[in-house]
Amino acid sequence: MNMPASYFDKMFEASEDPWAFRERWYEKRKRDLTLASLLRQQYQRVFEPGCANGELSLALAERSVGFLGLDICERAVALARARLAQQSAATINLGQVPEDWPAGSFDLIVLSELGYYLDEEQWVRVIQLAQQSLRPHGTLLACHWLHPIEGCPMDGARVHQLLAQHLKLHRNVRHEEADFLLEVWSSDLAPMRLQERVT
């Protein structure tokens, strides 16, 4: 992580919800779009690095058999654990990417509002680790704010450019607005049709 833990510690000292995930219509709508863009109704094992206080994590955990969240900030981890306390198959760990990338494989990896806190080398390593960790027919979802953020090494547009350059997956969804870009990638050209044929 290029941004130090103290950067996020200060944010969570000032508020339990520093980005107003719970209050802002923009954040609720973006969260709903994120969930609607997922290619399956349920996933076996989900990983969300940079899970913050667990607002998106709760919805992801409700659609997964096993959920793992990771965050660099101790206060955020405590808040996320409390938020997901009723989800028996959910785990929230303290750590950062790419250094603390977890072992095992996942069929959904969510990289939401994360990439621009890393430098390009770190982000490319995250992309590589994510691709290596995806199970066959797994899904990777990325969503990022497109405006510059003071002190961050990259903006959201560059984050997604690097995803397009380094991911060896098909892009199934691309939703772009003035403020954010949401993309979904998998190994399947038409995963929804393939899923319908199997069921």
The predicted pLDDT at position 159 comes to: 97
The predicted pLDDT at position 5 comes to: 72
- The answer to whether the peptide bond before residue 98 is cis (omega within 30 degrees of 0) is yes
- Residue 115 is classified by DSSP as G
CATH number for the domain that contains residue 22? 3.40.50.150
The predicted pLDDT at position 190 comes to: 62
Specify the number of domains making up the chain: 1
Which residues of the chain carry a pLDDT beneath 50?
Answer: 194, 197-199
The first and second tokens of residue 87, run together, are 């989800």
The predicted pLDDT at position 195 comes to: 54
Q: What is the pLDDT of residues 40-98, one digit of tens each?
A: 999 999 999 999 999 999 999 999 999 999 999 999 999 999 999 999 999 999 999 99
Domain residue limits at 71 = 5-198
The predicted pLDDT at position 58 comes to: 96
Between CA 154 and CA 176 the distance in angstroms is: 18
The predicted pLDDT at position 72 comes to: 92
The predicted pLDDT at position 16 comes to: 74
The predicted pLDDT at position 198 comes to: 46
Q: What angle do CA 139, 140, 141 make, to 5 degrees?
A: 120
The predicted pLDDT at position 188 comes to: 78
The predicted pLDDT at position 82 comes to: 95
CB half-sphere exposure, 43, CA atoms < 13 A: 32
The predicted pLDDT at position 171 comes to: 96
Closest CA to 87 of 108, 112, 66: 66
